[in-house]
């Protein structure tokens, strides 16, 4: 099974590190993760958006590992943030997580997430 990622020449290049189109073979199993957040082991949260994002990436990696999945199996990421994302820092974490195999992505700035302490949440869809 091979996931295909494309950026058709008919549309402008992506404005960030993502693919415009991700094609999943029909025989693939789908994996839908609940929104992942930067909760610490004791149930508290990091103070900054970036600290929460780093912890969130760790959680995503752990959830994927339970099903023998890798970042390359992620086909779509929705990013929900309550404040401006520091893109230079976030992009470094994004690239460390995905390498050059960027999933499709949507980003939205919203006024609040499920708990007042949350600053960022990542919604993941994977296929393998």
Mean pLDDT, all residues of the chain: 94
Q: Domain 4-127: which topology?
A: 60s Ribosomal Protein L30; Chain: A; (3.30.1330)
Q: Confidence class of residue 1 from pLDDT cuts 50, 70 and 90?
A: low
Residue 99 confidence class, pLDDT cut points 50, 70, 90 = very high
34 Cβ partners below 8 Å, 6+ apart? 123
Structural contact between residues 55 and 46, judged by C-beta atoms closer than 8 angstroms: yes
pTM comes to 0.88
d(CA 51, CA 88): 14
DSSP code at position 65:
H
């Amino acid at each position: 099974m091979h996931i295909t990622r494309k950026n058709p020449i008919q549309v402008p290049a992506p404005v960030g590190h993502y693919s415009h189109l991700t094609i999943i073979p029909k025989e693939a199993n789908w994996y839908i993760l609940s929104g992942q957040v930067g909760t610490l082991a004791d149930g508290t949260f990091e103070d900054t958006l970036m600290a929460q994002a780093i912890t969130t990436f760790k959680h995503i990696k752990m959830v994927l590992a339970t099903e023998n999945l890798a970042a390359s199996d992620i086909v779509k990421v929705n990013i929900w943030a309550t404040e401006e994302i520091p893109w230079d820092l976030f992009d470094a974490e994004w690239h460390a997580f995905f390498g050059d195999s960027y999933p499709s992505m949507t980003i939205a700035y919203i006024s609040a997430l499920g708990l007042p302490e949350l600053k960022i949440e990542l919604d993941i869809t994977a296929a393998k």
